[in-house]
Structure 1
Amino acid sequence: MLEKQRQEIDQLDRELVALFEKRMAVVTEIGEIKKSQNLPIFDEAREDAVIQRAKKRLINSEYAPYIDEFFTDLMKTTKKFQQNLMK
Protein backbone atom coordinates (compact mmCIF):
# COMPACT_ATOMS: atom_id res chain seq x y z
CA MET A 1 0.00 0.00 0.00
CA LEU A 2 2.82 2.45 0.80
CA GLU A 3 5.21 1.11 -1.83
CA LYS A 4 4.39 3.70 -4.49
CA GLN A 5 4.85 6.60 -2.05
CA ARG A 6 8.07 5.12 -0.70
CA GLN A 7 9.46 4.77 -4.21
CA GLU A 8 8.58 8.40 -4.83
CA ILE A 9 10.33 9.43 -1.59
CA ASP A 10 13.38 7.40 -2.66
CA GLN A 11 13.48 9.25 -5.99
CA LEU A 12 13.07 12.62 -4.26
CA ASP A 13 15.87 11.69 -1.85
CA ARG A 14 18.17 10.93 -4.81
CA GLU A 15 17.37 14.37 -6.21
CA LEU A 16 17.92 16.00 -2.82
CA VAL A 17 21.33 14.36 -2.47
CA ALA A 18 22.37 15.63 -5.90
CA LEU A 19 21.18 19.14 -5.02
CA PHE A 20 22.90 18.94 -1.62
CA GLU A 21 26.19 18.09 -3.30
CA LYS A 22 25.82 21.01 -5.71
CA ARG A 23 25.00 23.34 -2.84
CA MET A 24 27.96 22.10 -0.81
CA ALA A 25 30.30 22.69 -3.75
CA VAL A 26 29.20 26.33 -3.78
CA VAL A 27 29.44 26.47 0.03
CA THR A 28 33.04 25.27 -0.35
CA GLU A 29 33.79 28.12 -2.76
CA ILE A 30 32.20 30.61 -0.39
CA GLY A 31 34.15 29.17 2.54
CA GLU A 32 37.41 29.53 0.65
CA ILE A 33 36.59 33.16 -0.19
CA LYS A 34 35.69 33.88 3.43
CA LYS A 35 38.92 32.27 4.57
CA SER A 36 41.08 34.21 2.12
CA GLN A 37 39.36 37.51 3.00
CA ASN A 38 39.16 36.75 6.74
CA LEU A 39 35.35 37.08 6.70
CA PRO A 40 33.08 35.60 9.38
CA ILE A 41 31.22 32.40 8.65
CA PHE A 42 27.94 33.58 10.17
CA ASP A 43 25.91 36.29 8.42
CA GLU A 44 22.59 36.64 10.22
CA ALA A 45 21.05 38.97 7.65
CA ARG A 46 21.91 36.60 4.81
CA GLU A 47 20.48 33.60 6.66
CA ASP A 48 17.27 35.46 7.46
CA ALA A 49 16.93 36.46 3.80
CA VAL A 50 17.44 32.86 2.63
CA ILE A 51 14.71 31.62 4.98
CA GLN A 52 12.28 34.39 4.03
CA ARG A 53 12.78 33.69 0.31
CA ALA A 54 12.19 29.98 0.90
CA LYS A 55 8.95 30.72 2.74
CA LYS A 56 7.75 32.98 -0.09
CA ARG A 57 8.38 30.20 -2.61
CA LEU A 58 6.11 27.78 -0.78
CA ILE A 59 2.80 26.99 -2.37
CA ASN A 60 1.43 25.31 0.76
CA SER A 61 1.78 27.81 3.62
CA GLU A 62 1.12 25.00 6.11
CA TYR A 63 4.75 23.97 5.55
CA ALA A 64 6.18 27.39 6.51
CA PRO A 65 7.42 26.46 10.01
CA TYR A 66 9.02 23.34 8.60
CA ILE A 67 10.78 25.07 5.71
CA ASP A 68 12.15 27.48 8.31
CA GLU A 69 13.50 24.55 10.33
CA PHE A 70 14.79 22.78 7.21
CA PHE A 71 16.82 25.77 6.02
CA THR A 72 18.00 26.61 9.54
CA ASP A 73 19.33 23.06 9.91
CA LEU A 74 20.84 23.13 6.43
CA MET A 75 22.68 26.36 7.14
CA LYS A 76 23.84 25.01 10.51
CA THR A 77 25.38 22.09 8.62
CA THR A 78 27.05 24.34 6.07
CA LYS A 79 28.47 26.60 8.77
CA LYS A 80 29.94 23.56 10.51
CA PHE A 81 31.47 22.50 7.18
CA GLN A 82 32.92 25.97 6.63
CA GLN A 83 34.39 25.97 10.14
CA ASN A 84 36.32 22.85 9.17
CA LEU A 85 37.54 24.61 6.03
CA MET A 86 38.86 27.48 8.14
CA LYS A 87 41.15 25.20 10.14
Structure 2
Amino acid sequence: MELSVYRQEIDALDRELTNILERRMKVVAKVAAYKKRHHMEIFDPRRERQVLDKIAALAEHEELAPYLRNIYQCIMDESKNYEREHMKL
Protein backbone atom coordinates (compact mmCIF):
# COMPACT_ATOMS: atom_id res chain seq x y z
CA MET A 1 0.00 0.00 0.00
CA GLU A 2 1.14 3.54 -0.69
CA LEU A 3 2.18 5.93 2.07
CA SER A 4 -0.48 8.39 0.88
CA VAL A 5 -3.19 5.83 1.65
CA TYR A 6 -1.90 5.40 5.20
CA ARG A 7 -1.78 9.16 5.60
CA GLN A 8 -5.36 9.49 4.38
CA GLU A 9 -6.40 6.91 6.97
CA ILE A 10 -4.55 8.83 9.69
CA ASP A 11 -6.22 12.07 8.54
CA ALA A 12 -9.65 10.44 8.82
CA LEU A 13 -8.82 9.12 12.29
CA ASP A 14 -7.55 12.56 13.32
CA ARG A 15 -10.91 14.07 12.33
CA GLU A 16 -12.69 11.49 14.50
CA LEU A 17 -10.30 12.02 17.41
CA THR A 18 -10.72 15.78 17.22
CA ASN A 19 -14.49 15.43 17.34
CA ILE A 20 -14.30 13.06 20.30
CA LEU A 21 -11.79 15.27 22.14
CA GLU A 22 -13.99 18.34 21.62
CA ARG A 23 -16.92 16.42 23.08
CA ARG A 24 -14.73 15.34 25.99
CA MET A 25 -13.66 18.93 26.68
CA LYS A 26 -17.30 20.05 26.75
CA VAL A 27 -17.87 17.52 29.52
CA VAL A 28 -14.69 18.75 31.24
CA ALA A 29 -16.24 22.24 31.31
CA LYS A 30 -19.28 20.78 33.07
CA VAL A 31 -17.01 19.01 35.55
CA ALA A 32 -15.24 22.33 36.21
CA ALA A 33 -18.56 24.05 36.88
CA TYR A 34 -19.55 21.27 39.28
CA LYS A 35 -16.21 21.41 41.10
CA LYS A 36 -16.42 25.19 41.36
CA ARG A 37 -19.95 25.04 42.84
CA HIS A 38 -18.87 22.40 45.34
CA HIS A 39 -15.48 23.97 46.17
CA MET A 40 -13.58 20.93 44.96
CA GLU A 41 -9.98 20.65 43.85
CA ILE A 42 -9.22 20.20 40.16
CA PHE A 43 -6.67 17.44 40.62
CA ASP A 44 -7.81 14.11 42.03
CA PRO A 45 -4.79 11.78 41.98
CA ARG A 46 -6.88 8.69 42.78
CA ARG A 47 -9.26 9.34 39.87
CA GLU A 48 -6.37 10.06 37.52
CA ARG A 49 -4.67 6.78 38.44
CA GLN A 50 -7.97 4.91 37.90
CA VAL A 51 -8.36 6.44 34.43
CA LEU A 52 -4.80 5.59 33.41
CA ASP A 53 -5.13 2.03 34.69
CA LYS A 54 -8.45 1.64 32.85
CA ILE A 55 -6.91 2.91 29.60
CA ALA A 56 -3.98 0.51 29.91
CA ALA A 57 -6.40 -2.37 30.52
CA LEU A 58 -8.51 -1.40 27.49
CA ALA A 59 -5.53 -1.62 25.12
CA GLU A 60 -6.00 -4.58 22.82
CA HIS A 61 -2.26 -4.72 22.19
CA GLU A 62 -0.33 -4.75 25.45
CA GLU A 63 2.75 -3.16 23.89
CA LEU A 64 0.68 -0.03 23.17
CA ALA A 65 -0.51 0.38 26.78
CA PRO A 66 2.40 2.62 27.91
CA TYR A 67 1.95 4.88 24.89
CA LEU A 68 -1.78 5.14 25.50
CA ARG A 69 -1.13 5.96 29.16
CA ASN A 70 1.20 8.78 28.05
CA ILE A 71 -1.34 10.11 25.56
CA TYR A 72 -4.07 10.05 28.19
CA GLN A 73 -1.81 11.74 30.71
CA CYS A 74 -1.44 14.60 28.21
CA ILE A 75 -5.20 14.67 27.64
CA MET A 76 -5.82 14.85 31.39
CA ASP A 77 -3.16 17.51 31.89
CA GLU A 78 -4.83 19.68 29.25
CA SER A 79 -8.23 18.91 30.74
CA LYS A 80 -6.99 20.20 34.10
CA ASN A 81 -5.73 23.36 32.39
CA TYR A 82 -9.13 23.79 30.74
CA GLU A 83 -10.85 23.27 34.09
CA ARG A 84 -8.66 25.96 35.67
CA GLU A 85 -9.67 28.42 32.96
CA HIS A 86 -13.36 27.61 33.40
CA MET A 87 -13.17 27.88 37.17
CA LYS A 88 -11.84 31.45 36.82
CA LEU A 89 -14.99 32.53 34.98
TM over 0.5: yes
Counterpart-to-counterpart distance in 2, 1:58 and 1:13:
19
Aligned to 1:81: 82
Q: How many residues are treated as equivalent by the alignment? A: 87
Match of 1:69 in 2: 70
Identity %: 37
1:4-83 to 2 correspondences below 5 Å? 4-83=5-84
CA-CA distance at 1:68 after TM superposition: 1.0
- TM-score (normalised: structure 1): 0.97
CA RMSD, aligned part only? Answer: 0.6
Cα distance in 2 for residues equivalent to 1:74 and 1:27: 11
- TM-score, normalisation: structure 2: 0.95
Structure 2, unaligned runs of 5 or more: none
Q: Which amino acid aligns with 1:8?
A: E
Structure-2 separation of matches of 1:39 and 1:64: 30
> Unaligned 5+ residue runs, structure 1?
none
CA deviation profile, 1:17-69 (whole Å, cap 9, x unmatched): 01001101110100000011110000000000001111111111111111110
